A and B are shown apart, each in its own frame.
Chain A
Amino acid sequence: MWKSILYKEWLKLRWIILISTALGIMAVGSLFLNVQHDFLFMGAMTYWYNTLFLGVQYFHLLKYVPLVIGIAIGVAQYFPETVNKRIKLSFHLPINENKILLLMMLCGTTTLLVSFGSMFLLFWGLSAHFFPQEIVYGAIVSVTPWFLSGFVIYFFISLIVMEPVWKYWILYGLIGYAFIGLYLEPSTTGGYEPVVLKFALLTVLLSLSSLFSAYRFRKGEM
């Protein structure tokens, strides 16, 4: 049964995985083309000065990319389930309803992991090529909440799209906005170090949120 669910999710997500991963990799590539360009035209000394003392973040271009990918994957996965209340088809399958939703979420999360993972590794590798370890570490700490924000928005998209009552969409939207604001708060390079693990834990907890909308749907809220 789980193979069939994976198959359905694959049919919905296959193009968006390719496109979002390609765009993500292109964003990282373009970021380091800028770094290379600035190295050449500013000179390494000025570039280092800007990075170390003026707090210029060479990776700021990445800030909203995971967010956009999270939205795209969330919409691509959950919107086709809710048009004409098609989610009824899934809930009617001979498998526990929560299990279906968790499997769907696992598929979406894995897709994000693949997409973000390839971006993250490329970012790490290229950063290590251009910068010393201290700067790379600070950059990794800084971009981690941004990547986590991609997961958070994905979970909120699932919560909102599956919610049967439109008034709740606004409520969830506002809560989601407040949560994502935390992850994208401007900070100095590496400034998020004390809270990165807490953010990761919070993201895992938020992954269960769509079960609430599904429960409300099954109760017949409208």
Chain B
Amino acid sequence: MSNVIECNNLTHYYGKKMVYENLNIHVREGSILGLLGKNGAGKTTTINILNGFLQPRSGECLIYNENTQHLTPKTKARIGFLIEGHVQYAFMNIHQIEKFYAGFYPNWKREPYWELMKKLKVLPTQKISSMSCGQRSQVALGLILAQDPDLLILDDFSMGLDPGYRRLFIDYLREYAKAANKTIFTTSHIIQDMERLIDDVLIMDYNRVLAQKPVKEFMTTFKQFNFELLNADLELKKEKFIVNLEKVKNQIELYTYDSEEVVLNYLASNGIGYTNFRKVEMTLEDAFIGLTGKY
């Protein structure tokens, strides 16, 4: 399966502040990749580079084998882009905006757009500026569905949406993407949403990629073990197999890609007294926090 997006040795700085160095990303055709990271980890920077709104210091991103700094109109027509906050031309009404975009895309499909608009129960003359964030998200989604792009780039699609609209957005999107073999590259602050939507996960921390793999593989290989120390003052030595260790008084959360056996050996070989040792089932959000740390 070929890659729709390929970023090679991507390096970017804001002034002297490094965002990342030699970052490599690839997104398979037909997959839904979620880019997760804390604030400031470089999610929006990556989205801006992908859309050609930011020139990286070095390295390159290719979409359909074209450098994103110089995408041809033909390739841009294959990409649907959702801006953070569901930004659209607020001075237009829902009829005008559909008419406007239809002129750019020869394969424009107005039915999915109007189907979503029916659900909103708004008049065709309603201005986008007078809509709630949730309603605007449906307009933005409807426009993307009508454009029928091969690749969708969604920047923080859940921002400002209540749970109902988030669910509606995700269900529509996943069904659409899977039915038509679309590729999606998305970011979101709400990781619960991602769990329902994505196939692959890319987790970024400041300056580096922590994980890029299928969600299922990540969730089965990445593990959390909790236990209580007998001596609360004991400081645990962080060995190579430990990805992250959180300690509150005598409560320990240990995150690793290794097995339970490795953890138990570590405790035994270091003479660490403990009770209540258990493996904890994680959600994607738990795993994200476990990997990146709480701070």
Contacts and interface: CB of A to CB of B under 8 A. Distances in A.
A85 interface: yes
Contacts of A11: 91-92, 96
A94 B104 contact: yes
Given A84-B87, A89-B83, A218 B52 contact: yes
A12 B91 contact: yes
B295 interface: no
Given A86-B89, A89-B89, A4 B103 contact: yes
Interface in B95-113: 96, 99-105
Interface in A171-209: none
A4 B147 CA distance: 15
Interface in B106-139: none
B261 to A, nearest CB: 49
B99 A7 contact: yes
A94 B76 contact: yes
What interface size band does chain A fall in? 20 to 34
A95 interface: yes
Contact of B85 (A7, A84, A96, A220): A84
Given A217-B53, A220-B48, A92 B103 contact: no
A37 interface: no
B87 A85 contact: yes
A139 B127 CA distance: 45
Main DSSP-derived SS at the A contact region: helix
B51 A92 contact: yes
Interface in A45-60: none
Main DSSP-derived SS at the B contact region: loop
Given A94-B73, A96-B73, A220-B55, A80 B103 contact: no
A219 interface: yes
Contacts of B96: 7, 11
A129 B100 CA distance: 46
Nearest to B81: A92
Given A84-B85, A94-B77, A220 B54 contact: yes
A152 to B, nearest CB: 26
A94 B74 contact: yes
List 10 A-B pairs, minimum CB-CB distance, nearest first. A4-B103, A220-B54, A94-B77, A94-B73, A94-B76, A84-B87, A92-B81, A219-B55, A80-B91, A4-B100
19 contacts: A4-B102, A8-B89, A11-B96, A12-B91, A84-B83, A85-B87, A86-B87, A86-B89, A88-B53, A89-B81, A89-B83, A89-B88, A91-B52, A91-B53, A92-B81, A94-B74, A218-B52, A218-B53, A222-B14
